[in-house]
Amino acid sequence: MLKKVLIVDDSPAQVKLMQGLLEPEGYQPVGVNDPRRVEEAIVNERPSLILLDVVMPERNGFQVCRELKSSSEFNSIPVILVTSKDSASDKYWGQQQGADGYVTKPFTRDDLLRAVRRFA
């Protein structure tokens, strides 16, 4: 069975890029461009892993991560933040929100696959 990966990013181009890197490796990537629809997508898709952008309108990735990790329904799903925010304080804050991993944009194919393989 293919491992399903939920990609949450407000940039359709970023979603397509990550889908293009994951599909040939045997993953089933599903993209969501609206951070307000994350929980709905999780219920419908049942992903093994979530790749989550931080800088998004309405609801940023830190908020989404914190809410998922404080929910008994969703807290067991690993969350990897995939973001251009690359300072040590950003990474620390992501960890404090419950993120299981952190990949900095721009990333290489190997960076992304290494992080995904740790959890999916």
Assess contact for 82 and 107: CB atoms under 8 A.
Answer: yes
The pLDDT of residue 2 is above 80: no
Tens digit of pLDDT for each residue in 10-44?
Answer: 999 999 999 999 999 999 999 999 999 999 999 99
The pLDDT of residue 93 is above 90: yes
**Cα–Cα distance for residue pair 4/46, rounded to 1 Å:** 7
Q: Return the domain boundaries, the chain.
A: 3-119
The pLDDT of residue 1 is above 80: no
Token pair recorded at residue 23: 């599909």
pTM passes above 0.85: yes
| Model pLDDT, residue 113 | 97
| CATH architecture of the region 3-119 | 3-Layer(aba) Sandwich (3.40)
Tens digit of pLDDT for each residue in 35-72?
Answer: 999 999 999 999 999 999 999 999 999 999 999 999 99
Q: Given pLDDT bands bounded at 50, 70 and 90, which one contains residue 118?
A: very high
| Model pLDDT, residue 120 | 81
